[in-house]
Structure 1
Amino acid sequence: MAQRIRVAVSGAGGGVGQSILKALQDSEYDVVALDGDRLAAGLYTTNRSYLVPRPADPDFLDRMLEICRAEKCRLLFPGLDTELRPLAENTDRFAEHGITVVVSSPEVVDIGDNKFRTYSILREHDISVPETVDMAVPGAQPPAFPFILKRREGGSRSKDVFLVRDAGDLAELTVDPAEFVAQEYIEGDEYTCGSVSFDGDCKGVIAMRRTLRDGDTYKAFAVRDQVVEDEVRKVIAAIKPFGACNVQLRVRDGKPYIFEINARCSGTTAARALCGFNEPRMIADYLCHQREPDFQVREQAVLRYWKELVVPNELIDELGRHGSLYRSGTDQL
């Protein structure tokens, strides 16, 4: 019997990492879960789990590589935005040991992280984007009301994102506008779109219309919309991400406007897998077995809800003491 291929998933306590873990449950791949917090739920849903340093820690890369080598992992799926840059800049270190980090180039990571760069690059490729103004430029004037104010770099789950309806809203803000971009507000349905691509070759796209709660997708509806899918393919051709890339957009009068790109899996990855588009599994199949992605999107609704995970105190204590946890049984997220 062939030995099962092992992959690592970091950020097991966050929405993205847990979504990747869910997508890989019941697959042919053994998963090693990684996180910096011993109370990260995802650490208790796999047979092998490790505590790792935070990305800013000087030992972060060495420890991640040490674990992946010890566990003979073929792939590493990052689940935290703060991990993307250090991992993207050091993929060669992992590749020397036969480990592929599923992360885009530093340039692509930067495009997604900097909202004004996102806007500029997409405009250069004739892709429709909301009018966006860098408020750090002296004399910069925002678009007409209403507009969105969002932090220029970083940010997730709608953190530091403000809908400014009028001058009164603008006057009440307690943040420094120079750290933000002002973006035209597009009225219309919002979509989160997943994609899998390698070397600019888009292997597949899924579009999901969504309802948000506190910045997270709360209800998602998989749809087959050729106009939206074609626009996402244009984005992929323009920036050439590696593996998964999440594209967020709104549709106004039948026209998609791209307002955000994240060059990674997303918190909606598990929902997409339930609709027939399993990004982590397709990526692993392609990189480990040279299988072309095969999928069939099912148009259906995915409704989210809270679920409790009971963890015995002795397991938490063991992980805290040793920094690793090995067990035969697992729980489902």
Structure 2
Amino acid sequence: MITGIAGDIGRSIAEILKNAFKDIEIIGTDIDKNFPYKLYCNNFVEGMPFSNPDYLKFLEEYVSKSQLLCIIPTSELEIRFFNEKRISHILDVPLIMASNNIMDIGFDKLKTIHFLSENNLPYPETILAKDFNYNLQLPCIAKSRTGAGSKEIFIVNTENFQSIIEKYPEWIFQELLLPENEEYTCGIFKSKKGIVKTITLKRTLKGGRTGYAEVVDNELINSLLFQVADSIKFNGSINIQLRLSGGEPKIFEINPRFSSTVKFRDMLGFKDLLWSIQDVIGEINEIDYNVNEIIGKKLYRADKEIIY
């Protein structure tokens, strides 16, 4: 079962699974019923928001009469809900998510900075908006401490900082990392046995997500990714957002979920979705993946028209 299947990550995950397994049966759920589900799943069940008091009951009732192997939640709000409730299974069916400890860190951007600081990992200077006292150079970035994606990010300057503080006191102000054309999205997969695989994409954003990217090999970034993996005992797939600023890679976000580049990465051989499923329902002893074989590969996101 894939929840949130009408979203870009849900659709990508469905396509990966259909390509990987000839006879797979995919059950899709989403609150959006105006969706060409037949292109992505065998059966579609209209879902409900996680905020609905009957949300868990809805999932349990479906699981009780089905033979599901696993459930893959794709909406970040849903994943946060499961993490806060410490839910790892619906009845006896496992959820495919990263472990709770890395979600606790990544879903709170201030906790992310504290984690990086405590482990001597590079990060941009970051404070709560309400604590601003000119100790952070302007212009800087303002963003939600717990928000998802880059939809609500503002540039803070001397003209607007006071109004932003008044409106969003619990947001964070963060050092503006320059240059803008040195942004990277990096995947880390870590198995329960501690096998670590990484991929680094130098990217250009379009509409808040990766529109163009190139697989790169940067020793400073490679080393940093393995330092992150070594600093906390977690398992699953996470995404690191960073910029090279002043010649140093600085991490500004850790996203503990499948990325919007999950299908790109699968096509390149970084199959973190399939590895995650295998690691949850069985175990992984080795992973056949060599990042050196894909250095220089370029990715481009294109729109697609669908009539159904």
With structure 1 as the length reference, what TM-score do the two structures score? 0.81
User: Which residue of 87, 92, 103 maps to 1:91?
Assistant: 87
- The one-character-per-residue Cα deviations of 1:22-42 (angstroms, maximum 9, x if unpaired) are 322311243222211102455
The answer to whether structure 1 residue 57 and structure 2 residue 21 are counterparts is: no
- Paired AA for residue 11 in structure 1: G
- The one-character-per-residue Cα deviations of 1:114-148 (angstroms, maximum 9, x if unpaired) are 111110111101110000011234x6445112211
The answer to whether structure 1 residue 136 and structure 2 residue 130 are counterparts is: yes
Deviation at residue 73 of structure 1 after TM alignment: 1.9
Q: Which moved more, 1:206-215 or 1:277-286?
A: 277-286
Q: Distance in 2 between matches of 1:38 and 1:240?
A: 39
User: Which residue of 215, 231, 234 maps to 2:227?
Assistant: 234
Deviation at residue 308 of structure 1 after TM alignment: 1.7
Structure 1: 5+ residue runs without aligned partners? Answer: 1-7, 312-333
Q: Distance in 2 between matches of 1:200 and 1:120?
A: 26
User: Which position in structure 1 is the counterpart of 2:236?
Assistant: 243
| Partners of 1:210 and 1:221 within 8 A in 2 | yes
| Partners of 1:129 and 1:258 within 8 A in 2 | yes
Deviation at residue 78 of structure 1 after TM alignment: 1.3
Deviation at residue 176 of structure 1 after TM alignment: 1.5
Q: Distance in 2 between matches of 1:234 and 1:279?
A: 19
Identity %, equivalent residues: 26
- The one-character-per-residue Cα deviations of 1:32-80 (angstroms, maximum 9, x if unpaired) are 2221110245564111222211111111122223334433222222101
User: Which position in structure 2 is the counterpart of 1:331?
Assistant: none
The answer to whether structure 1 residue 181 and structure 2 residue 172 are counterparts is: yes
| Partners of 1:193 and 1:247 within 8 A in 2 | yes
Q: CA RMSD in A?
A: 2.4
The answer to whether structure 1 residue 274 and structure 2 residue 267 are counterparts is: yes
Q: Which moved more, 1:116-125 or 1:69-78?
A: 69-78
Does 1 or 2 have the higher relative contact order (CA < 8 Å, sep 6+)?
1
Pair 1:287–1:261, CA change in 2 (3 A) = same
Pair 1:42–1:80, CA change in 2 (3 A) = farther
The answer to whether structure 1 residue 127 and structure 2 residue 126 are counterparts is: no
Pair 1:22–1:296, CA change in 2 (3 A) = farther
| Partners of 2:4 and 2:73 within 8 A in 1 | yes
Q: Distance in 1 between matches of 2:61 and 2:98?
A: 21
Pair 1:307–1:288, CA change in 2 (3 A) = same
Q: Distance in 2 between matches of 1:307 and 1:175?
A: 42
Q: Distance in 1 between matches of 2:226 and 2:192?
A: 13
With structure 2 as the length reference, what TM-score do the two structures score? 0.87
User: Which position in structure 2 is the counterpart of 1:217?
Assistant: 210
Deviation at residue 107 of structure 1 after TM alignment: 4.3
Residue 169 of structure 2 aligns to a residue whose secondary structure is helix
Q: Distance in 1 between matches of 2:61 and 2:263?
A: 28
Pair 1:249–1:113, CA change in 2 (3 A) = same
User: Which residue of 95, 98, 104 maps to 2:98?
Assistant: 104
Residue 69 of structure 2 aligns to a residue whose secondary structure is strand
Pair 1:104–1:277, CA change in 2 (3 A) = closer
Deviation at residue 214 of structure 1 after TM alignment: 2.2
Pair 1:303–1:125, CA change in 2 (3 A) = same
**Matched residue pairs, number?**
299
Pair 1:129–1:15, CA change in 2 (3 A) = same
| Partners of 2:82 and 2:88 within 8 A in 1 | no
Q: Distance in 1 between matches of 2:207 and 2:256?
A: 22
- The one-character-per-residue Cα deviations of 1:288-308 (angstroms, maximum 9, x if unpaired) are 453433223313111111102
| Partners of 2:211 and 2:301 within 8 A in 1 | yes
Q: Which moved more, 1:301-310 or 1:287-296?
A: 287-296
Q: Which moved more, 1:255-264 or 1:218-227?
A: 218-227
Pair 1:143–1:42, CA change in 2 (3 A) = farther
Deviation at residue 202 of structure 1 after TM alignment: 4.5
Structure 2: 5+ residue runs without aligned partners? Answer: none
- The one-character-per-residue Cα deviations of 1:151-195 (angstroms, maximum 9, x if unpaired) are 112232x1221123x313536759724131111111131111112
Deviation at residue 21 of structure 1 after TM alignment: 2.0
User: Which position in structure 1 is the counterpart of 2:107?
Assistant: 113
Q: Which moved more, 1:99-108 or 1:246-255?
A: 99-108
User: Which residue of 136, 144, 158 maps to 1:167?
Assistant: 158
| Partners of 1:241 and 1:263 within 8 A in 2 | no
The answer to whether structure 1 residue 73 and structure 2 residue 68 are counterparts is: yes
User: Which position in structure 2 is the counterpart of 1:263?
Assistant: 256
User: Which residue of 274, 279, 286 maps to 2:279?
Assistant: 286
Residue 195 of structure 1 aligns to a residue whose secondary structure is strand
Pair 1:290–1:263, CA change in 2 (3 A) = same
Pair 1:170–1:238, CA change in 2 (3 A) = same
Q: Which moved more, 1:206-215 or 1:99-108?
A: 99-108
